[in-house]
Amino acid sequence: MNQLENTLTSLEVAEMVGKNHKEVLRDIRKIIEQSGQRKVALTYFQEDTYEDVQGKSQPMYRVTKKGCEIFGNRMAGAKGTQFTFGYVERFNQMEQHIKQQPDISNLSPELQMFNQMFQAVANQEQKLLEVNDKVDNISEIVALNTANWRNETGNFIRKIALKQGGGVAFKEINQQIYAEVERRGGFKFNIRLRNMQTRQIEKGYSKSAVKKLNKLDVIEADKKATQIYIQVVKEFAIKYQVELA
């Protein structure tokens, strides 16, 4: 939540309405196009970018309260009502935060200067705390429990996907991770999965059991693949600054 600029990102909007971020981008662009007042619309939906898990710049919008109102008016039923309550509450929180900041306009120039110095020191201390938190968080990621690696890596990927917009993002991130593991190890998981399924059918396993096999089962059967997979997931989690708490 961007408290200083008093906007929500389109990523946050996507999370609130339960849509993929690409769908929200499409909806916002349609609103801008249909408005007939592009310049005005772009003050409600401000074009910006963010960095994805691969470090690439991707489009997003910063949505003002008025922009959320316009976006919400296009949504019918319970989802529209829930979104309205959600964004109103978020903006109220931001406005309350701003109101709590002290008014220093009546202070003398000297006192204003001292206040600025104090704020600079406070901001520096906050940045140091954030750095320490990130270091602690990275340490926890690096110390991932390999005995329970399937659950722990799955947890990391879900948290990355949540930042990217939900369920569809989870599938996309998994594909990126598998592709990177294949590249590093020279694997072909689809071929290995078919071979594993064939072997289990030959051993008399039921069709339902064979059908449940997936790429993680293939990775688990190969120690080298498991190690590479864990390392790649760690790198994604660190790069995307996943919060473990």
Q: Categorize the per-residue pLDDT at 61 as very low, low, confident or very high, splitting at 50, 70 and 90.
A: very high
Do 115 and 105 form a contact (C-beta atoms < 8 A)?
no
Residue 129: what pLDDT?
45
| Residues 6 or more apart in contact with residue 198 via CB below 8 angstroms | none
- How confident is the model at residue 103, as a pLDDT? 57
What is the reported pLDDT for 135?
Answer: 39
With tokens 């005005």, the residue in question is: 40
Burial class for 111, CB neighbours closer than 10 Å (0-12, 13-18, 19+): exposed
Segment 138-166 mean pLDDT:
72
Strand, coil or helix: 57: strand
Tell whether the model's pLDDT for residue 113 goes beyond 50. Answer: yes
Residue with the bigger pLDDT between 113 and 181: it is 181
pLDDT higher than 60, residue 143? no
Nearest in space to 29 (alpha carbons), one of 63, 80, 2: 63
Residue 133 pLDDT grade (very low, low, confident, very high; cuts 50, 70, 90): very low
Spatial CA neighbour of 177 closest among 138, 133, 226, 140: 226
Structure tokens at 68: 């959320």
Residue 16 confidence class, pLDDT cut points 50, 70, 90? confident
In this prediction, residues 40-55 reach a mean pLDDT of 85
The predicted model scores a pTM of: 0.45
Least confident of 95-99, 152-156, 169-173: 95-99
pLDDT value for 154 = 85
Q: What per-residue confidence (pLDDT) applies to 127?
A: 54
Phi, psi of 37, deg, nearest 5: -135, 70
For the cut 90, the answer to whether the pLDDT of residue 31 exceeds it is yes
Question: Is residue 198 predicted with pLDDT exceeding 70?
Answer: yes
Contacts of 116 (CB under 8 A, 6+ apart): none
For position 131, what pLDDT does the model report? 43
Instruction: Please give the mean pLDDT across all residues of the chain.
Output: 79
